[in-house]
Structure 1
């Protein structure tokens, strides 16, 4: 083996070690795609019969990127995004230069743009009515708009929502609680079921609202299918709510009318 052939092999091996070292160094880098060194023979001439041509070594032909699907992991950042399968995030730097990345570690900058380091995530504007991309539109940086809506109570008007909705199934075969046994949230024998939910007052403070369900006297006129009458009693932070909406004694009347549910 000539000196030139051996030297070319050492150079190609060194390049391969560079690629391997870079892969190892970036093993925990989000969105990183490993590479592979690919080699080729070197010939002094390509004329004549290949059986009579002696090679003069090897070289690194190319460094091929490996775009296989990596592992996805969960994080505590709601803006972190992972791509399953093919695809890239379209990024744009402040000067307008476009690039592509698989790194989905995003956050908001002070202006509300979704960014990955110094790159801005871009997207296409959509029609709010149809949800379709606007015809003729171009990709642009995604910016979230914020409005200072202040604290709102659960059920208050505005962006927060219209109230608290509960979906329940009550057993129509439960026996009616007699009128001689008044409701008391401290006595589980005076109601059938209870459940709790977190609600917020106008200052944004959290409270625990408890709902007590009690089966009362059935309707005077039977229905088909038959129905059962349930009274819902309320308590806030462990105190019963009175008929005028104030917190009162345990034996106070409830603020809600009886509701009916099909058996």
Structure 2
């Protein structure tokens, strides 16, 4: 008789209880991966034992007990819980964070990060999170990953260079009463709108656009003939004129009552005297609009001149300009000279009231970093006080052909080993790598209920092995007492 089977069972069961206890202890450890004990049976290696001693073969061997074959970690996905820290990152799927400690590389699933005094993203042990860096313009540089550092420097200002202005002008609008544009005189333009633009120092300025409808050209109307006491007026052509328009003839401004033919019309008041001559003005509109620009109330250019002329097709769509329109150069106080390039594409002239469909510009003031967010593909995006965003880096993940072969270390870290295979490093969502979730962590994958049940089972196994030793002891005592 032998105590070996029972002793080996006690040792294996004790190891199992240790592993289960470690799982329970780390049930609340972020990124922890539970382990299971894999047992193996043990047989004595002897040639004599292979014959069984009675011709029955190796199947007659009783075995010498059990041993622990391996303690295998289970890399199943843990549940993801949101946090109030935007720097926390959870991995959903395959992969490990790649950490650096003075060049020593380790791997983890614990995404609880913060910034150290130098702006590096680190874990609670001071290990630096690694990833791809960015160019000054925010382009990801997918070369060798290195420690990710979040710059605290302010985002430099960008002077406005381009303005997109899509407006809806009214087809029923008439030419303004005052033909010479003056931004201070609302009778010299039909509509206006404004937006903020920025200079090279990041200072804000008000750029205002004014739209002035051009009157119908007088030349095609020809000579006007009026007769004293009559409301009839003859013209070379009445094309473009309509009831309600005004027409100035011989110093008298007449309001058109009706257009009666291609060459005649009636007006609201009779003529005081006979006269034949060219009209001197009209508020009848053409399909063209003058566009004027002021910056902080000052005309650009100065003296005042139209920046561009917008013309429209008969269906109300923009005919000209067909491309960008540069303004004249202007120099804000203390800043560099600049020009604004306007894009009026999408502007229309329909039978509706004036409206602004699009008004945007590409400049901004200086801004301070006030938050970061990590996208699903690992791109770290900085948010600035001026409303701008900028790529600050990209977190990388590493995968292994045999993650169970990784060497476990303290503080939720693993290290590469000979059986894990080499790390395959890439950006999240690429190849077989998982996605990232900002402001969240991956909880331990230990099922506490199942672990407690396993603990009860392991305890019963330990007790059973202890009982087998007790039985062996009783049997041996019986043999000693034989006479």
1:16 corresponds to which residue?
A: 16
Residues 96, 70 of structure 1: CA spacing in aligned structure 2 closer, same or farther, 3 A cutoff?
Answer: same
Alignment of 1:1-263 (within 5 A): 2-45=2-45, 47=47, 48=50, 49-93=57-101, 95-117=102-124, 118-126=126-134, 131=139, 133-134=141-142, 137-148=143-154, 158=157, 225-229=350-354
Contact 2:99-2:127 within 8 A present in 1 as well: yes
Deviation of residue 227 (structure 1)? 2.2
Residues 225, 96 of structure 1: CA spacing in aligned structure 2 closer, same or farther, 3 A cutoff?
Answer: same
Deviation of residue 128 (structure 1)? 6.3
Structure showing greater Rg: 2
Contact 1:8-1:57 within 8 A present in 2 as well: yes
Q: Give the secondary-structure state (helix, strand or coil) at the position aligned to 1:24.
A: helix
Contact 1:79-1:106 within 8 A present in 2 as well: yes
Question: Partners in 2 of 1:127 and 1:113 — Cα distance?
Answer: 17
2:420 corresponds to which residue?
A: none
Contact 1:32-1:103 within 8 A present in 2 as well: yes
Deviation of residue 53 (structure 1)? 1.9
Instruction: Give the total of aligned pairs.
Output: 163
Q: Give the secondary-structure state (helix, strand or coil) at the position aligned to 2:30.
A: coil
Deviation of residue 52 (structure 1)? 2.2
Q: Give the secondary-structure state (helix, strand or coil) at the position aligned to 1:86.
A: coil
- What RMSD over aligned residues (CA atoms) do the two structures have, in Å? 2.9
Contact 2:115-2:121 within 8 A present in 1 as well: yes
Q: Give the secondary-structure state (helix, strand or coil) at the position aligned to 2:91.
A: coil
Q: Deviations over 1:174-214 (max 9, x none)?
A: xxxxxxxxxxxxxxxxxxxxxxxxxxxxxxxxxxxxxxxxx
Normalised to the residue count of structure 2, the TM-score between the two structures is 0.31
Residues 145, 128 of structure 1: CA spacing in aligned structure 2 closer, same or farther, 3 A cutoff?
Answer: closer
Q: Which has the higher strand share?
A: 2
Question: Partners in 1 of 2:154 and 2:132 — Cα distance?
Answer: 26
5+ residue gaps in structure 2?
51-56, 161-283, 286-315, 317-348, 357-483
Question: Partners in 1 of 2:145 and 2:25 — Cα distance?
Answer: 34
Normalised to the residue count of structure 1, the TM-score between the two structures is 0.55
Q: Deviations over 1:216-247 (max 9, x none)?
A: xxxx98x764423469xxxxxxxxxxxxxxxx
2:189 corresponds to which residue?
A: none
Question: Partners in 2 of 1:148 and 1:225 — Cα distance?
Answer: 45
Deviation of residue 138 (structure 1)? 1.9
Contact 2:132-2:140 within 8 A present in 1 as well: no
Deviation of residue 124 (structure 1)? 2.4
Contact 1:45-1:53 within 8 A present in 2 as well: no
Deviation of residue 61 (structure 1)? 0.8
Question: Partners in 1 of 2:114 and 2:99 — Cα distance?
Answer: 13
5+ residue gaps in structure 1?
150-156, 163-219, 232-263
Contact 1:34-1:65 within 8 A present in 2 as well: yes
